[in-house]
Structures are given as C-alpha cells and as structure tokens.
C-alpha cells in the first residue's frame, strides 16, 4: 500500500508567494528573489511530506499563478497578442506568463489578460486556455522538468502532476468558429509525448494526470477521446506508471470508461461520492490499482479514521493491499496550510480541524493503521482521533436543541409570503409611493482608505468603540445626505461598518469561528479566508438594525436594509460535514429571517437579501441541479417570508446567467431583483423576458468594475433596450453591483448621470 497526495498549497503558510509576486509586479524585488521564494516554498512543501512519510510526493503542483496557465505555457498555447511581450528585452518567461494572467500595459503595449473562470465548483479560478482551428502546440517551457529536478536535488523522486490532456482541452475555449476543441487532441498529444519522454529520461517513474472531467457529464466524443488518448499514451510509454486522478464528484455513468483506461492507477473521490466504491471494486480490472480519496481536500475537518478505515479495508479485502493507495480526495490547494498557526482558536474547536499539513499526516497514519505495523504511538493517535470525532458529535458548542427543533418545525407556510406578488405590489406602492423607474444602488459605497483605516485602528484598540461609532455615523450621514441631494429614490446606508459581506454576519452569528491564517488561494495572488461554520447557527441579537435605523432616522426617504442571504453565507464558508448542507443553510435562513423581521419592526420597509452565490452553488452534474435549487430557493424564501405584504423584499445577484435557472429565480419570489447586466448590454434580461418574469427587476445600467464614468445617454439607451423586453412598470434603475471598490469621484459622477437617465426615460415614457 502506498500513500500520496494530489497537490499541496503553494501560497505558503504566511502567504509568502502572494507577497513575493505582488512585490515583483510592483518592481520592488527582482526576478531572482521571486524565483528564490518559489524554490523555498517547493522545498518546504516537499520536506513536510517527506518527514510525514508520504510515499509518492508530487511536483509541478507548485505554480506562480495558476496550474492551467502553467500548462498553456508549457504546451505553447500562447495567444498571438502576447508575442510582442516576448520581444521586449529583459522580459523573462515569467513576465510573459504574468502578462497572460494579468494583461500587459507598459512600453507602449496594452494587451488584455486571458479570461479567468471558476475551477469546477471551487472558489479557485483558473486562466482559460484559448484554442484556434488547427492549432499547433510546441513545448515552450521547462517548468515541469525544473521542478522534477528540484525535487531530485531534495532527494525525492517526485510524481509530476500534469493536467490530463482531455481535461486541459475541455477547460479551454474555442476562439473561432468551425471546429471542436477536442479535435486538437492529436496535435496536443505530440507535446505531451515530448514532456513524458523528457521526464522519463530524467528518471520519473510515476505521472499523475488530473482528469476531473471524468466525474462530470461527458459527451460521446469526449469519451472516445479519453479512450484514444490514453491508449496512445500507454503505447508510447509502456514503462511509466500513470495515475489518472478524478475528483469533485463520483465517476457514476463514466465508471466503466474510467476503469477501462489503460493506466496503472485510478484515483476516486470518496468524500464527495462514497457510494461509488462498491461499483468500482466490482468492475475494476486486475491490472488497475485504486487510489482512495478518503480525506477531504475541500474542507477543514479532521478525518474520521474509523470511517476511512472501513473504506480502505473493504478495498484491501477485494484487491489486496499492493493495489491500494491512500490519499486526500483532491489537491490540498483548497485547504488552508497549517493548523499549528491557529493560536487563538478555542482548543475544543481546534481539535476538530485539520489543514493541509495535518491532512498529510492523516494519510500516513491511515496507512500505518491498516498495515498493522503499528508504531507504538499510532494506537494513541487513533484513540485521540476517536475522541475528537466523538466530541464533535456531542459537544454543546455545536449542538443547540432549540435551533434543531425550530428548523425541524419549519413548514411550507414559513417559506411563503402572506399573499401573492400582485397583491403585495399594490400594498407596497401604497406605502412606498415610488415613481416610475425608481432609482437605487446595491448597497455599499466607497470603502475609502480612511474608512478601512478606522476599522484597523478600532481593531488594534487605537480607536475606542465610541470614536469608531461616531466616525461611521458621520460617513453614513454624509452618504445619506448626498443620495438625497442627487435625488435617488431608495437610499442605502453605505455598509461602512462592514469588512466583508459574509464575515460581517458570521462574526455576529453563533456557530461560526474565524481563523487567523486560514488562507486559501482564490486566484493568482488573491487569497480568501472563509469563515468556519462548525455548529448550529443562531442569531443572539440583531445584526444590522442599529445601522439601518440610524440611516433611516436621517432622512424622510426610504432606506433599504441590507443583508447577505443564506445560500451566499453557506457558499463562501467552510461548512460542517456532519449534517447536509441544506440543513445548515436552513438554520442560516432562520437567523436571517429574524433579522428581516426585526428590521421591519424598526420601521425599515425595503429589505435587500443579497444572493450573488446562488448560481455558483449549482452541482457539477445536471441531474443534481433540481435538488439543490429546491433547498436553496426554499432557504431564501424562509429568510424573506416573515414580513407583511407591504414590506418590499429585494434580492441581488451578480455575474450570473439565468437562462437555465430562470424558473427557480422566479420561484424565489423576491419583490425586486437587481442583476448585473450592463456588460452584456441587457442581454441577460432576455431570460426574464422570455419567461414573462412577473416581479420587478433592476437590470444594472453601468459596470462598477471599472473607474470609467458612463454617460447619461448610454444609460438611457440601455433603459430603452430594457423597456423593449420588460414592461416599464416592472423596471428599476441601478448600477450592476455595490460600489465599495470605487472612488467617490467617479461614483458621484456616475450616479448623478444615472438619476438623470432615469428621469429622462420616465418622461419619454
Ligand atoms: N450589498 C453588497 C454590496 O453592495 C452586494 C455585494 C455583491 O453582490 N457581491 O457590496
Ligand atoms: Zn453584486
């Protein structure tokens, strides 16, 4: 039996890579220093694994930005617009690479970056390869070989991790018409052959091909490509040992295809889909080994050894231990680095957690436990593990009977407003008296350096709570006055008191903890630190009433209350795995519901519940969509349905497409939905128009991602487009999203023009 991992976090436990990259980009350090940081991180990661006793240690899992972009560089899938970057003197391979990731704006060049998108259902983003008809590939970087050599120097015959050929193609985008990216497999295979030849010469024994697409819905053509590509690779390299790694879902209908690939080992994700084990054990051919992904690479919980051992023993019984490998479910880049740095966590909670470094140790412990060659301390470790699991099952920190009872008692009625939208609309209009094309914003106003410095000072104790409160009140009041002055109809308080739209709520809810160093790479040098939902969620006291009430007291106009919705809070956190996600979501929904009711009691008549993450929560397999959408939409409705008909509920969603989920969006039954729309020139509205979406909609009329100030005319034009497909009395006028990343200067100009556009459009009407 062997142990391995699919990949280790490369950012460093103190985010060393982030810092070095950013310093390099701003010209503060030289290339050599950045490369040194990279090498040091690789060596540290290898040593952690070597010391823990991992058998097959990966290399080429390191990356300065993104592993997919690495592959594009290696195979020479470099779009022609970057060729000029190479010609500039002093530019290294890494400069070209960063230009592809981030664009290049200097020395008279202005080249856009390549597109970025989410890596399957994670919060990691990869750079999308660009494909052209008859594209030729060419080995263009020594990255893989250098890393392999680096590991060798550290005394490790490493297992290079390479994105599988089919997955690499499926991740990319065809940039011209008239061909299918899978048709490029033949051309690409010649570069893969070169790579493997070199690695073999260097002494590589094992190669890991990541093929997560095998766990997704596949077309017939993709299936055929899998078979032909891997048969060809096998033929050309009879001696190399290949691992095909699948993760993020089960193989399901692709299982027979996967076990028929002529490789040495198949890795399966037994965390996401434990049910697949039996089927695979029954169908696996004799010459194929199985790598069991039993440790959750996507979450921060300590592994339940007893449970994992039952899987491993079952597999060993059937295949014999020589054909078994033990591993985490997927690469550990989705886990934070090292729990040892968490010195502020409640020790009871800390004892339930494992980050990447601890997961590496768990893999080895599991092997020692099954092999029976027990070192003395191993049984102790096992006992400790059982105790930790038991403590999580019973701890009063986690389990709150009141919350569970309340959640169990939720009925369909709790997820329903009192009357249908038609009745509500009339009642709301009577109270709110809003004009045609009412104007509003999405919630946040600029988080200036000053505002952020107040928060930092308050945290450090340099400002008292009272001083901080006064500063925030002044900023809020100024913002209210300003919105009044320019004539916005529905005001917001500006969200100056908030650091982040999930963290702000998590900090005030029971059942959440925050780590000090639990960073995970999101894209490039950007890292996020998701909150940990460890227990039953409840809301001890109101969270936003104070600020909404204060803002409302400053004006005669309506101020919109501002909340983050249950699905988004769930989606952007590490979620407990001892109950279904749907149950945790329902608990959060009840907490938000209480807040909505309290806002109403405090005189707030318009309340927005943001759900930008609803779409990204969609499961990878289409067959699972409806089940997810059912509980996600229900959670939103639970949060929104505690109020009277006259209270207007808004929701907001950005970067979404709605075509295939429009029915579910309508089912959320928000009185008003604001969406990001301007960059698509109102095209995203068509889904609502075709569906005859009955409630009100605010399609964003300007892009908040850039400092550019839109003209009144272009916004009027967009409003005309909107009116062509949606009746005017259903339309709101607002920006695409919150304004927290903008400066006041451009915000002021843009909103003044937006209000003027709305006025003119309503006169025209
Ligand atoms: N209310 C939030 C804001 O304005 C919404 C942010 C979002 O949709 N991502 O910042
Ligand atoms: Zn948004």
| pLDDT tens track for 28-69 | 999 999 999 999 999 999 999 999 999 999 999 999 999 999
Range 585-600 average pLDDT: 98
SS3 of 234-245: HHHCCCCEEEEE
Per-residue pLDDT tens digits for 653-662? 987 789 999 9
- Alpha-carbon distance values, 149 to 63, 160, 491, 656 (Å): 16, 11, 60, 43
- Alpha-carbon distance values, 41 to 16, 17, 38, 70, 485 (Å): 8, 8, 5, 17, 54
> Order of strands across the sheet with 672-675?
490-491, 558-564, 606-610, 648-653, 672-675, 696-699
Residue whose CA is at the smallest distance from ligand 1 atom 1:
443
- Alpha-carbon distance values, 489 to 432, 557, 602, 604 (Å): 10, 7, 20, 15
DSSP 742: S
**What is the structure's pLDDT at 679?**
83
Mean of the per-residue pLDDT values of the chain: 96
pLDDT at 699 over 80: yes
Q: Locate the ligand 1 atom nearest the alpha carbon of residue 652 and give its number.
A: 8
User: How much is the CA Rg of the chain, to the nearest whole Å?
Assistant: 27
Q: 564 - beta bridge partners? A: 610
pTM across the whole model: 0.95
Per-residue pLDDT tens digits for 287-322? 999 999 999 999 999 999 999 999 999 999 999 999
Q: Locate the ligand 1 atom nearest the alpha carbon of residue 562 and give its number.
A: 1
Cβ–ligand 1 distance for 562 under 6 Å, the answer: yes
Distant-in-sequence, close-in-space partners of 597: CB < 8 Å, separation ≥ 6: 642, 643
Q: Locate the ligand 1 atom nearest the alpha carbon of residue 653 and give its number.
A: 8
Q: Cα(655)–Cα(645) distance, rounded to whole angstroms?
A: 29
443 is in an annotated binding site: yes
634 is in an annotated binding site: no
Per-residue pLDDT tens digits for 622-634? 999 999 999 999 9
Residue 89: pLDDT band with limits 50, 70, 90: confident
pLDDT at 376 over 80: no
Residue 377: pLDDT band with limits 50, 70, 90: confident
Per-residue pLDDT tens digits for 424-459? 999 999 999 999 999 999 999 999 999 999 999 999
Residue 88: pLDDT band with limits 50, 70, 90: confident
- Cα dihedral 689, 690, 694, 695, rounded to 10, equals -50
Whether residue 164 contacts residue 192, with contact meaning beta carbons closer than 8 Å, is answered with no
> In this structure, is the dihedral angle defined by the CA atoms of residues 72, 75, 80 and 84, taken in order, positive or negative?
positive
Cβ–ligand 1 distance for 613 under 6 Å, the answer: no
Percent of the chain with pLDDT strictly greater than 90: 94
Catalytic residue positions, numbered: 705
Which residue, among 126, 125, 115, 64, has the nearest Cα to 92 in the 3D structure? 64
Residue whose CA is at the smallest distance from ligand 1 atom 4:
738
Q: 326 - beta bridge partners? A: 3, 292
Pairing label, strands 532-538, 510-513 = antiparallel
* Tokens standing for residue 155: 């005394």
The residue to which tokens 């009192």 are assigned: 418
Q: Locate the ligand 1 atom nearest the alpha carbon of residue 608 and give its number.
A: 1
Q: Of the residues 567, 607, 736, 738, which should be mutated to test ligand 1's pocket, given the most ligand atoms within 8 Å of the CB? A: 738
Residue 374: pLDDT band with limits 50, 70, 90: low
* Tokens standing for residue 192: 């893969």
667 is in an annotated binding site: yes
pLDDT at 706 over 90: no
CA angle 316, 317, 319 (to 5 degrees): 60
Which residue, among 119, 137, 141, has the nearest Cα to 128 in the 3D structure? 119
Classify burial at 668, counting beta carbons within 10 Å of its beta carbon; exposed 0-12, middle 13-18, buried 19 or more: buried
Widest distance between CA atoms in the chain: 83
Alpha helices in 355-489 (DSSP H): 356-371, 376-394, 401-408, 421-432, 449-460, 465-486
Q: What interface predicted TM-score (ipTM) does this complex get?
A: 0.99
Cα 692 to ligand 2 centroid, rounded to whole Å: 23
Cα 491 to ligand 1 centroid, rounded to whole Å: 15
**What is the structure's pLDDT at 484?**
98
Whether residue 171 contacts residue 126, with contact meaning beta carbons closer than 8 Å, is answered with yes
Residue 372: pLDDT band with limits 50, 70, 90: confident
Cβ–ligand 1 distance for 652 under 6 Å, the answer: yes
Which residue, among 520, 424, 698, 566, has the nearest Cα to 12 in the 3D structure? 520
Pairing label, strands 116-118, 130-131 = unpaired
15 is in an annotated binding site: yes
Residues in the chain: 765
The residue to which tokens 């499926």 are assigned: 170
526 is in an annotated binding site: yes
SS3 of 594-632: HHHHHHHHCCCCEEEEECCCCHHHCCCCHHHHHHHHHHH
Cβ–ligand 1 distance for 443 under 6 Å, the answer: yes
* Tokens standing for residue 27: 């010209």
The residue to which tokens 């005669």 are assigned: 556
Residue whose CA is at the smallest distance from ligand 1 atom 6:
738
Cβ–ligand 1 distance for 614 under 6 Å, the answer: no
Q: Which carries the bigger pLDDT value, residue 641 or residue 765?
A: 641
Q: Of the residues 123, 441, 443, which should be mutated to test ligand 1's pocket, given the most ligand atoms within 8 Å of the CB? A: 443
């Amino acid at each position: 039996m062997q142990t391995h991992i699919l990949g280790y976090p490369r950012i460093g436990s103190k985010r060393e890579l982030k810092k070095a990259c950013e310093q390099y980009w701003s010209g503060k350090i030289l290339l050599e220093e950045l490369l040194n940081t990279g090498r040091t991180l690789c060596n540290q990661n290898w040593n952690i694994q070597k010391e823990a006793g991992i058998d097959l240690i990966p290399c080429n899992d390191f990356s300065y930005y993104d592993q997919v972009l690495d592959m594009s560089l290696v195979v020479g899938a470099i779009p022609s617009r970057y060729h000029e970057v190479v010609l500039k003197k002093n530019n290294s391979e890494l400069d070209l690479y960063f230009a592809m990731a981030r664009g290049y704006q200097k020395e008279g060049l202005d080249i856009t970056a390549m597109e970025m998108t989410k890596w399957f259902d994670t919060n990691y983003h990869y750079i999308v390869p660009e494909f052209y008809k008859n594209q030729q590939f060419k080995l263009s970087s020594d990255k893989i070989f250098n890393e392999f050599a680096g590991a060798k120097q550290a005394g490790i015959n490493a297992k290079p991790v390479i994105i599988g050929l089919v997955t690499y193609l499926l991740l990319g985008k065809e940039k011209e018409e008239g061909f299918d990216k899978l048709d490029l497999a033949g051309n690409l295979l010649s570069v893969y052959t070169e790579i493997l030849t070199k690695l073999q010469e260097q002494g590589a024994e094992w190669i890991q091909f990541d093929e997560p697409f095998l766990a997704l819905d596949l077309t017939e053509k993709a299936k055929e490509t899998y078979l032909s590509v891997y048969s060809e690779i096998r033929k050309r390299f009879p001696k190399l040992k290949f691992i095909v790694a699948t993760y993020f879902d089960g193989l399901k209908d692709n299982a027979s295809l996967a076990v028929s690939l002529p490789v040495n080992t198949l890795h399966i994700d037994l965390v996401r889909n434990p049910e697949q084990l039996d089927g695979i054990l029954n169908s696996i051919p004799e010459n194929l080994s199985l790598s069991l992904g039993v440790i959750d690479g996507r979450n921060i919980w300590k592994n339940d050894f007893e449970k994992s051992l039952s899987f491993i023993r079952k597999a060993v019984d059937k295949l014999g231990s020589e054909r078994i490998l033990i591993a985490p479910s997927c690469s550990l880049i989705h886990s934070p680095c090292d729990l040892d740095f968490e010195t502020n966590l409640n020790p009871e909670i800390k004892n339930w957690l494992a980050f990447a470094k601890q997961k590496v140790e768990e893999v080895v412990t599991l092997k020692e436990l099954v092999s029976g060659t027990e070192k003395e301390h191993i049984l102790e470790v096992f006992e400790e593990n059982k105790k930790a699991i038991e403590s999580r099952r019973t701890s009063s920190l986690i389990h709150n009977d009141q919350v569970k009872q309340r959640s169990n008692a939720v009925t369909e009625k709790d997820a329903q407003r009192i009357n249908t939208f038609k009745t509500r609309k009339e009642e709301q209009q009577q109270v709110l008296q809003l004009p045609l094309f009412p104007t509003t914003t999405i919630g946040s106003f600029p988080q200036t350096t000053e505002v952020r410095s107040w928060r930092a000072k308050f945290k450090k104790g340099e400002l008292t709570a009272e001083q901080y409160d006064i500063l925030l009140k002044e900023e809020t009041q100024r913002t209210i006055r300003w919105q009044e002055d320019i004539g916005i109809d529905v005001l917001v308080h500006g969200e100056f008191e908030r650091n982040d739209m999930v963290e702000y709520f998590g900090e005030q809810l029971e059942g959440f903890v925050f780590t000090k160093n639990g960073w995970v790479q999101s894209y490039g040098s950007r890292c996020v630190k998701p909150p940990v939902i460890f227990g039953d969620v409840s809301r001890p006291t109101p969270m936003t009433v104070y600020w909404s009430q204060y803002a409302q007291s400053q004006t005669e106009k309506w101020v919109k209350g501002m909340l983050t919705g249950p699905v988004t809070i769930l989606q952007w956190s590490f979620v407990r795995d001892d109950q279904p996600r749907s149950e945790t979501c329902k608990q959060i929904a009840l907490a938000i519901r209480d807040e909505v009711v309290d806002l109403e009691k405090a005189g707030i008549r318009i309340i927005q519940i943001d759900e930008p993450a609803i779409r990204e929560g969609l499961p990878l397999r289409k067959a699972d969509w409806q089940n997810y959408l059912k509980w996600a939409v229900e959670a939103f409705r639970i949060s929104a349905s505690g109020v009277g008909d006259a209270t207007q509920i808004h929701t907001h969603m950005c970067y979404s497409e709605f075509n295939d989920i429009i029915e579910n969006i309508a089912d959320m039954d928000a009185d008003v939905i604001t969406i990001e729309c301007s960059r698509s020139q109102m095209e995203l509205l068509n889904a609502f128009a075709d569906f005859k979406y009955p409630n009100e909609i605010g399609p964003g009329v300007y892009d908040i991602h850039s400092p550019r100030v839109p003209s009144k005319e272009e916004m009027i034009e967009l409003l005309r487009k909107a009116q062509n497909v949606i009746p005017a009395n259903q339309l709101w006028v607002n920006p695409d999203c919150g304004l927290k990343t903008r400066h006041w200067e451009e915000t002021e100009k843009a909103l003044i023009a937006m209000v003027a556009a709305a006025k003119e459009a309503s006169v025209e009407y």
